[in-house]
Amino acid sequence: MNIDFTPDELAFRAEVREFLRDHLPDRLREGARRTPGVFVEPDIGLEWQRILNDRGWAAPNWPTDCGGTGWSPVQRYIFDKECALAGAPALAVLGLKLVGPVICHFGTPEQKDRFLPRIRSGEDYWCQGYSEPGSGSDLASLRCAARREGDHYIVNGAKIWTTHAHFANWIFALVRTDPTVRKQAGITFLLIPMNQPGVDVTPIMTMAGDHEVNQVYFDNARSPVANRIGEEGQGWTIAKFLLENERGGSCHAPRLLRAIAGLESQARALSTGYNGTLWDDAMIRDSIVRARLDAEALEVTELRILADLAKGRAPGPQTSLVKWLGSEIHQQIDRIALDIHGYDGWQLPAERPLYGNGGPVPLGSVEAQLAAARMLNGKAWTVFGGSTEVQKNIIARTVLGL
């Protein structure tokens, strides 16, 4: 595998770097830096998305006929990496990287015309209705039901761990439309407007004090049949497509490596109080170096997946390995940050957001203020998007043949 960039790819990287230098405002970098959770607040994320959309770069993983950039997998990786290294806010993946590609692939022309421009611009903000109370890892056991009445579906049930449902005006949901068939066969993919009677959002506060996730209740909520993606009973197939599209060509390593470089800078600057800086502490230095080596190895795996995608191959079970290792390294970084900042790292302000004029004054440093919140929030890394246990089972079955 040749992982050197071509002259054209190097020229593209230079173009991306110039764009980021000229168009990424410092306030968005600082807001992203001071966000302890996985998802940035919409005031940051949507402003950056609109800047990218004006350039035609908001949806690089979409086909060109749907408004995508036409970039190769390597160009998409370069773009993601440069955004990560520049400290750009992470975009809301639920519209751009999840439901958007689904509509591109399975949607009707009318659905594409209606939804895709508003996803790119951020006018529509999406959440995902998959997990339910009692239906997490075994997603096929979901019970949220949609009964067809004429030109509408009537939806009843609940979804849980619904990220940013309190901001969203649309939810894409898996619903059960036929309880009499095999459980995977009776599921349908439905787009449901959130701003209507019969949809109730209840916040779930995390241990870190963040409001990212919610429980969503449907009580005779309505959605036109025109909002169904694909056919009735095709939801399980569409859900698998969404998951494969989400994980293929992922870009964990650059953000991890940037965070590790930050840890090293902090360790070199913080005094032990008795013998040099924390970087002189062999245990601290060893933990940071080990994390860096793990992240660099992960980056090689991500580049191997890119090489497969560039040749038209499916990404395969390596994506489960990336999800597993990326989640573990995230949590590894969070533990090191607490070790570095000591007592100052255990402050846990209740205010959100931590940026802007209303943000609380940190004790010690901004990095110390973020440490405990990131560690607590980051416990979810090994759960969401497919738990570590699920990823290990996939690897055992598909790679090891167990």
pLDDT in tens, 251-298: 789 999 999 999 999 999 999 888 899 999 999 999 999 999 999 999
- Asked whether 11 and 18 are in contact (CB, 8 A), the reply is no
Question: What pLDDT does 74 receive?
Answer: 87
Instruction: Determine the pLDDT at residue 78.
Output: 93
Task: Kindly state the percentage of the chain with pLDDT values over 70.
Answer: 97
Q: Where are the domains of the chain?
A: 7-91, 126-233, 248-398
CA-based torsion, 258, 264, 268, 271: positive or negative? positive
Spatial CA neighbour of 166 closest among 216, 210, 208: 216
Residue 308: is its pLDDT beyond 90?
no
Please provide the average confidence, as pLDDT, over all residues in the chain: 92
What's the CA gap between 105 and 315, in Å, rounded? Answer: 18
Lowest mean pLDDT among 10-24, 65-79, 107-121, 150-164: 65-79
Told to judge if 367 belongs to the known catalytic residues of this protein, a careful annotator would answer no
Confidence of residue 230 (pLDDT cuts 50, 70, 90): very high
Looking at 156-170, 181-195, 293-307, which range is the least confident one? 293-307
The secondary element (H helix, E strand) that includes residue 190 is strand 187-193
pLDDT of amino acid 341 = 95
Q: Which amino acid is at 192?
A: I
The CATH homologous superfamily of the domain defined by 248-398: Butyryl-CoA Dehydrogenase, subunit A, domain 3 (1.20.140.10)
Between vectors from CA 94 to CA 56 and to CA 250, what angle results, nearest 5°? Answer: 75
257: helix, strand or coil = helix
pLDDT of residue 247: 59
pLDDT tops 70 at residue 1: no
Return the structure tokens found at 370: 């973020």
- The residue whose two tokens read 């940013």 is 164
Class of the CATH domain delimited by 126-233: mainly beta
Please pick, among 132, 212, 232, 246, the residue that the annotation labels catalytic: 246
Q: What is the pLDDT of residue 2?
A: 55
- For residue 74, give both structure tokens: 């390597």
Q: How far apart are CA 58 and CA 379, in angstroms?
A: 29
* 202 vs 166: CA distance, rounded Å: 8
Q: Residues 215-227: pLDDT tens digits? A: 999 999 999 999 9
pLDDT over threshold 90, residue 136: no
Among the listed residues 245, 336, 247, the one whose alpha carbon sits nearest the alpha carbon of residue 288: 336
d(CA 397, CA 274): 52
